[in-house]
Structure 1
């Protein structure tokens, strides 16, 4: 069987959605993978367990190794690309990032790994986007929406949430270098703020400082914040998240005060965007949108209309009176019909959720549309050594469900 026939067969397998594989153990930790064809012939691929992909400890199970090898093969032979170009040609993919930090930055050590990506992996993602998609700007999406024009096949929009300073410091230079635009959603209250959100501040404290738990207990007592949950569970990532969720029901002004005191005690650089950084984003042809005022879920705040209106006013004031702030992403992805209607009534024309959905562009010009976005987690697209694998990102993105989110 020649290489061309293998390519066609694997592409066909990817498109029809099944794969029959035989795994045969061989000498020296080598496995033979056979892909039967309709003529009962096979292509055999040998993979050594100690190769780079699986050289970190602990060693993945044979099933996981085989599954990963299969993905690598299908991607390398073009099968995933064929499947994507066929399936997603009329879908808009909107990807969502939060923080981008090099591992050498002091802020990276205690940053929440679910929402933080290294600069190396981010650069690899952007190169992947340029290879498999037609990246567009928010301006292009708006024009197509208003003029009822079609977007290019396999379009993709890059977005950021929150308003982190590292978006300007690290993500923007890479975007600019590769000629890509992004839409950056910023919470109105964080501009020129040195401390991070209280959630991130507490995550940094508990994950990076040996005496973090004792210090947190002292700070909670000083600020008269009580929690029913046992703080001793905050020994790993899941335990820390549990404590933070419990604290979410407490007075946020006191939690913000705790975060501010932690920032003053630390030698960490400022965490959030400054006015100058915000303006530089728009000068470089990136777009800025709203992420609410206080970064609290709009489904739980007392006055969501005030939240979204104040955020719009603050951002317009910071960017200049000629700026048009007509896009918004829901803080924490929380929204309902009432929240969406309030946002549209406040002058926002494009609303973005955290629903993991590819946006079907046949209905791109419909009013009252909410755009889905795919969060990209570094841990979902890298191996245990932190090495990026395009096949993992392809798997993460290409087969997501597609549809149209409408709120009447």
Structure 2
């Protein structure tokens, strides 16, 4: 029997357009279509997922209205909201915004009324407040729950003797949650070490993506190479070495066949200047709808994915998205990072930010190989093994194993037969 799952995830696409929201929606889609019964409590709507069908259960009108006002830059309603928010924080000594408190209280009531002794709850963070309704209800009547963590929680400011409010909230799951899931083993290691979690109950589930019937196949008669980057411009990732390599590459004869397109979701004026100086003939696009981005991915011959030195434990959703289309990947990263590990397993190229001219030399080599039948044949064969590890069946099976483990561990059903899915530790 597959236990019904209640998912508390503030960020779910299309209510929110963040990368976190897209990652969560992909996991929900895969889990639902593989047989799971899901109730989802998200930012502005609550849904039931039944296979390919999504049913609206409830609109959170007040939460949606407050969120919209809170994001305004000016206006009378924004001014009133700001004043009320400040008063609220002072009176109740709260670190949460008015909008957050309203959402947490509403979803806490809904969860308390809905949950049964057959359900397992998954809280998917970030944002960390996805945990709050779960912990509120748990305090009154405990139940099995699992915490999914896609990104570290203020890892750069982590001090065991001086945790901030979000870190304290996560730490409170230590003796309550039955399991924690992460998209990479390195992130699981770091979070388990920081918060003294039971590493044997920290499992890895890579980001989910829907499978495509037709994967990328290069037309070797085509001369031009479409290189695509999508997502946030991370200043810590777009380094001087990367810029120097792009400038040098674009002066070469082989660069004339390469079309660079950068689709930016988060950026500033400095980011635009950086790209225009690095790739004068590149195409810049801003804040496209997701369906438009996916159409560009379908036409790409190579996906740029770029790592910061601060991201070595992370598995980027954009990387999994590229893999799901079967597109060759050029990773600008660091040795032994999670991105490096996955891209190598996938049969594509990792170039290292901290080795002089490594990016430039590997870009030249990639352009030389992209129409080489032997190189393409090796890539096509190698990518199959990597895709098996992020397949819909793999993600759904891992989800079910951990859900069953959490339920049995909580209720101590046939305790002597409970099996921990310890094999779930890739990448």
What TM-score do the two structures reach when normalised by structure 1? 0.32
What TM-score do the two structures reach when normalised by structure 2? 0.31
